[in-house]
Amino acid sequence: MFALKVTITKFISDHQPGFVECSFVDVFNKEHIIQDKVPILVDKHLDTTSNYPQDGEVACEIIKERQNSKGQKILKINTSRPWGIETIEGMTDFEVLEEQIMERKKPMVGIDSYKT
């Protein structure tokens, strides 16, 4: 499983299990904002008293690879699979630098109980 590295910027709701807002910047220098449940984005407890920013992850699929004119590897990713994650604008397809993606050996603990 692959994951996009994101920055969790704030806690937005204590509605169970808690919701946070996170962001990342794509290869076109556009910032994207995602709001989702804490356990979907990070494998630890966060709430209003937590310090922000925090590192987080958004599960994704790699759709395509290419190289830009600077020789950097660009990955086209989709965040709708496996957990149905989208930005506040409804976007799920992005182009990001290879170093923004990490490989996870397993899903976060308890993640299956939070997405239906």
pLDDT at 106: 60
Residue 111's contacts (CB-CB under 8 Å, 6 or more residues apart) are 39, 40, 83
Residue 36's contacts (CB-CB under 8 Å, 6 or more residues apart) are 19, 20, 22, 58, 85
Q: pTM (2 decimals)?
A: 0.87
- Which parts of the chain register pLDDT below 70? 105-116
Dihedral sign (CA 114, 63, 86, 56): positive
The residue ranges of every structural domain in the chain are 2-103
Residue with tokens 């308890």: 110
pLDDT at 82: 87
pLDDT at 111: 46
pLDDT at 112: 45
pLDDT at 1: 87
Cα atoms found within 13 Å of the Cα of residue 67, Cβ hemisphere only:
4
pLDDT at 31: 98
